[in-house]
Amino acid sequence: MKKLLLFVAPLIGFITSPVHATDPADSWPNKPITVIVNSAAGGSADVLTRIVFNELAKELNTSFVIENRPGAGGTIAMSAIKRQKPDGYTLGYANVNTLSVNPSLFKHLPYDANKDFEPVGLMFNLYNVLAVRADHPAKTAPDLFSYAKENPGKLSYGASGIGTSGHIGGELLRSMANLDVQFVPYQGDPQSLQDLIGGRIEYSISNSSVVMPLVDSGKLRALAITSLKRVPLYPDLPTFDESGIKGYENVSWGGIVVPKGTPQSIVDKLNTSMNKALRTNAVQDPMSKLGAVAVPGSPEDFRTLINSEQIKYRNLIESAKIPKLD
């Protein structure tokens, strides 16, 4: 009987001893990761995201699958990200439009920018370019503004979807320059720029990463950039401020989020690896050629930016009296 009790006691001790949970990040990632992007293939967000994740794949020793879900001002993609399992195997590209503009631009959003996602980190800053077709009579931005005022209600401009930086930038221009023009939304920059080349719209405000190659090829003419100061990559391209629209600035930024509930250790591991990738020449060099600047930072930095930009664009939408969308 004593032998039996001595045998059972160790078993009881083993059963009641504390079990230490493993960190989810220890085994993550162990399979391919999907990245949902709210841009059409070939759009600026798609191109820049692929640059980052090609390098990030080396940092994390895994593969990434880019899933393009454009349309509806980014709400299609953000809704899809929101519904994913929070296990670190679905990431989402999110930008100034989906996180900071849409909450004030749409009457009803199918997602909550502050409650449905965890910010991982900012990837880049990018500026838009005002462009016309190569044979357009306007040689400068002031020329275009004068032409628009001489033809009230007859001109239209395009951008990559409702609520994008191109759309908001265009509405800001319409308000500040007092222009009577119509907005035409597209599924992505490639589509809007193709119509611009074909003369179906008068001008576009689109990311420099997709506009400037068409300018270099002679298909488009760039008139102004949406930065407050000139960009070193395009030293001859004037700003809107220099073109008579004082104080005009429209910054497009993009970063990565994950569904709410994703383990913080995975978020931190992803952020650390992403920052390493962003600091490499393999990312910075091709980004700079597209007019973008890599911006490493913490999840907290990204959240602070999102919140401050929400306030900025809420005030802009109200002051410019931009109608809210259904």
- DSSP letter for each residue of 48-95: HHHHHHHHHHHHHTS-EEEEE---GGGHHHHHHHHHS-SSSSEEEEEE
* Three-class SS state of 243: coil
Q: Which residues is 66 bridged to in the sheet?
A: 35
| CA-based R_g, the chain, Å | 24
CA distances from 241 to 120, 135, 177 (A): 33, 24, 11
pLDDT of residue 317: 87
Tokens (6 digits) for 199? 């003369």
Contact, 180 vs 153, CB < 8 A? yes
Contact 242, 228 (CB under 8 A): no
Buried b / exposed e along 109-122 (16+ C-beta atoms within 10 A): bebebeebbbbbbb
Map out the domains of the chain as residue ranges.
Answer: 32-126+252-319, 127-225
127-225 folds as D-Maltodextrin-Binding Protein; domain 2 (3.40.190)
What's the pLDDT at 100? 96
Largest distance between two CA atoms of the chain: 106
Q: Token pair for residue 289?
A: 């050629």
Residues in a beta bridge with 294: 124
How many residues are given for the chain?
A: 326
Confidence at residue 4, expressed as pLDDT on a 0 to 100 scale: 41
Instruction: Say what the pLDDT of residue 294 is.
Output: 94
CB-count burial class (<10 Å; 0-12, 13-18, 19+) for 61: exposed
Q: In whole angstroms, what separates CA 167 from the centre of its chain?
A: 14
Among candidate residues 293, 287, 296, 289, the one with its CA nearest the CA of residue 48:
287
Please state whether the predicted TM-score (pTM) of the whole model is above 0.75.
yes
> CATH 3.40.190.150: does it fit domain 32-126+252-319?
yes
Provide the pLDDT for residue 18: 53
Instruction: Give pLDDT, residue 21.
Output: 62
- For the chain, residues with pLDDT lower than 50 are 1-17
**Distance of alpha carbon 311 from alpha carbon 300, whole angstroms:** 17
* Closest by Cα among 210, 143, 221, 154 to 182: 154
Can 32-126+252-319 and 127-225 be said to share one CATH topology? yes
